[in-house]
Structure 1
Amino acid sequence: MHTWHWRNWQGMPYLTCSLLEPWSHGFFTHPFWPRSPEELTQVLQPEASVYRLKQVHGNTVLTPQEIESKLGKGSDDDSALASADGLVSQKALQAVWVASADCTPVLIGDVKTGQVAAIHAGWRGTAKKIVPQAIARLQTQGSKLDDLRIAMGPAIAGEVYQVSVAVAAEIGSSIISHDDENTIVDALHELPDSPLIADNEPGKVKVDVRRVNTLQIERLGISGEQIAIAPYCTYQTPEHFFSYRREQQKKVQWSGIVSVGNSIFT
């Protein structure tokens, strides 16, 4: 079983996952707000260069080189950031960051190449298969599926995430191929360890977005042993995490990971 550990920095807690032990990484909590990824990288690996995005709930995945060619380097202003929801490193000492406040932050490391990825997987990004997209980018850079280690951080849990049947079907269409909403939802309910939970309200259902991401990843041929899911719900853990659904405020927590050279694994 993969273990999650609380770490402390200047009295503030952040989470790490045993699956990602080779990399400096963290799923940060709300006391770190409003520190920027540049400041948080000092906690993880002060020598690393820092990359973040203007997140738009899509499935675009960029590399640092693509960001720099689009924008020129170095700006903390959102208007000057590249629009995407996933980042894949290309060399050692690149810190990649995503922000979330109910959406799923996903951090990936490759134990052979040392490459990493950070992904913001909300329901829209999940419906558009952003995590498989990021994995495909890693594969184009030499990653093998067996070498990937994937940790999903704190996010809203299925039992409190009520959505419309239409939204559930849009998310579900990423793993069930069908045009009819009700057919997709019925098929999802029948899956073992279903990502859906029935809801008493007509036209509504509850959905576990992290479970849908897990199913997408497993369908690529990645084993469950390579995936860890944080045992925390942003909505139900107000002492540690912002939740947009709970507070309706645009505050976030950051999740980041720093790439290493393949020499540390060889």
Structure 2
Amino acid sequence: MADWYWRPWQGQEFLTCGLLQPWPHGFFTRQFWPRLPPDLGAALAADATVQRVKQVHGNRVLCPADLPGENPTGGLAEADGLISDRAQQSLWVCSADCSPVLIGDRATGQVAAIHAGWRGTAQAIVPVAVSKLQAQGSRLEDLVVAIGPAIAGSVYQVANEVAAAVGRPLMTQAADNDGAVDDGAVDDGAAIEALFEQDHAFLLPDENPGKVRLDVRLANLEQLVQLGLSREQVAVAPHCTFQEPDRFFSYRRTGEKQVQWSGIVSQGSLGI
């Protein structure tokens, strides 16, 4: 299990992960609200260019080169992930109960920052980001991933159709691997039964009919493992946004649209 550390900055603390030690990075708490990445970036690297997007719960992943310039006419680009295309880029995503995912490449120094809610996870946003990193020269064995504070499965009750949507990318990949029938014709109830039979850790039973408990963090972990990463390459933060109100905002807990930010800074000479 990777170690997690609290790092002090301006009288408060933000969370860091040992797997990402080579990169300036942080998962910030509610204590930093309402500060934005242009301000928070100084905690990581004062001279890095700060990049963020307008998050829309999809699976679009962009590079800074794809974003509007200093005088944009249309505001922030709509996406839920960023991958670096040069050194000293500070990439940011915000979340409340969704999973903030930070990725580093130990060989090239490039990074990714991803907002993975259940909708983005159902659309395999983290594998999309990994694929884009690979297109820029990354190898799976060089990647390390930290999944930050998010709502834990034990307290996240969802309808069967939500859990089935999240589980289908894993079922589809498994079918591709073993030649089984594609899951496209499987209804939500049958999909949930199949996922439970496969003993996926991201699903827990719920006492209410038509409901299950869903851990989006672990669904993303399983997607990464299916891609070919080892479990030692991925760390999941031991913090739940719903159960730690003193540290984190949670939309499921309060219904308020307040967020905490997570960021990482690319390093090295990327050669791209």
Structure 2 SS opposite 1:255: strand
Answer yes or no: is 1:218 the counterpart of 2:225: yes
Report the alpha carbon displacement of residue 136 of structure 1 after superposing the two structures with TM.
0.4
Report the alpha carbon displacement of residue 224 of structure 1 after superposing the two structures with TM.
0.4
Which deviates further from its counterpart, 5-14 or 95-104?
Answer: 5-14
Q: Residues 48-106 of structure 1: CA distance to partner in whole angstroms, max 9, x if unpaired?
A: 00000100000000000011xxx22266x9x6000000000011100000000000000
Report the alpha carbon displacement of residue 124 of structure 1 after superposing the two structures with TM.
0.1
Which deviates further from its counterpart, 127-136 or 184-193?
Answer: 184-193
Q: Residues 122-167 of structure 1: CA distance to partner in whole angstroms, max 9, x if unpaired?
A: 0000000000000001000000000000000000000000000111
- Aligned residue for 1:176? 171
Paired residues of 1:37 and 1:97 also in contact (CA < 8 A): yes
Structure 1 SS opposite 2:246: coil
- Aligned residue for 2:36? 36
Answer yes or no: is 1:6 the counterpart of 2:6: yes
TM-score, length-normalised on structure 1? Answer: 0.94
Report the alpha carbon displacement of residue 37 of structure 1 after superposing the two structures with TM.
0.3
Report the alpha carbon displacement of residue 262 of structure 1 after superposing the two structures with TM.
4.3
- Aligned residue for 2:78? 83
Counterpart of 1:242 (choices 242, 249, 271) is 249
Paired residues of 1:121 and 1:130 also in contact (CA < 8 A): yes
Paired residues of 2:99 and 2:117 also in contact (CA < 8 A): yes
- Counterpart amino acid of 1:117? A
Report the alpha carbon displacement of residue 191 of structure 1 after superposing the two structures with TM.
2.8
Answer yes or no: is 1:137 the counterpart of 2:144: no
Q: Residues 231-265 of structure 1: CA distance to partner in whole angstroms, max 9, x if unpaired?
A: 000000001000001111111000000000148xx
- Aligned residue for 1:257? 264
TM-score, length-normalised on structure 2? Answer: 0.92
- Counterpart amino acid of 2:70? K
- Aligned residue for 1:19? 19
Percent identity between the two aligned chains? 56
Answer yes or no: is 1:108 the counterpart of 2:115: no
- The 2-side partners of 1:235 and 1:59 are apart by 24
Structure 1 SS opposite 2:171: coil
- The 2-side partners of 1:53 and 1:148 are apart by 23
- The 1-side partners of 2:204 and 2:232 are apart by 24
- The 2-side partners of 1:49 and 1:194 are apart by 38
- Counterpart amino acid of 2:96? A
Report the alpha carbon displacement of residue 193 of structure 1 after superposing the two structures with TM.
5.0
Across the aligned residues of Structure 1 and Structure 2, the Cα RMSD in angstroms comes to 1.4
- Aligned residue for 2:237? 230
- The 1-side partners of 2:117 and 2:48 are apart by 27
- The 1-side partners of 2:269 and 2:152 are apart by 35
Give the aligned length: 258
- Counterpart amino acid of 1:154? P
Counterpart of 1:155 (choices 132, 142, 150) is 150
1:193–1:166 CA distance, 2 compared to 1 (3 A)? closer
- Aligned residue for 1:93? 88
Structure 2 SS opposite 1:175: helix
Structure 2 SS opposite 1:234: coil
Give unmatched runs, 5+ long, in structure 1. Answer: none
- Counterpart amino acid of 2:169? S
- Aligned residue for 1:118? 113
- Aligned residue for 1:165? 160
Report the alpha carbon displacement of residue 195 of structure 1 after superposing the two structures with TM.
1.2
Give unmatched runs, 5+ long, in structure 2. Answer: 173-182
- The 1-side partners of 2:13 and 2:19 are apart by 19
Answer yes or no: is 1:48 the counterpart of 2:48: yes
- The 1-side partners of 2:6 and 2:197 are apart by 36
Answer yes or no: is 1:195 the counterpart of 2:202: yes
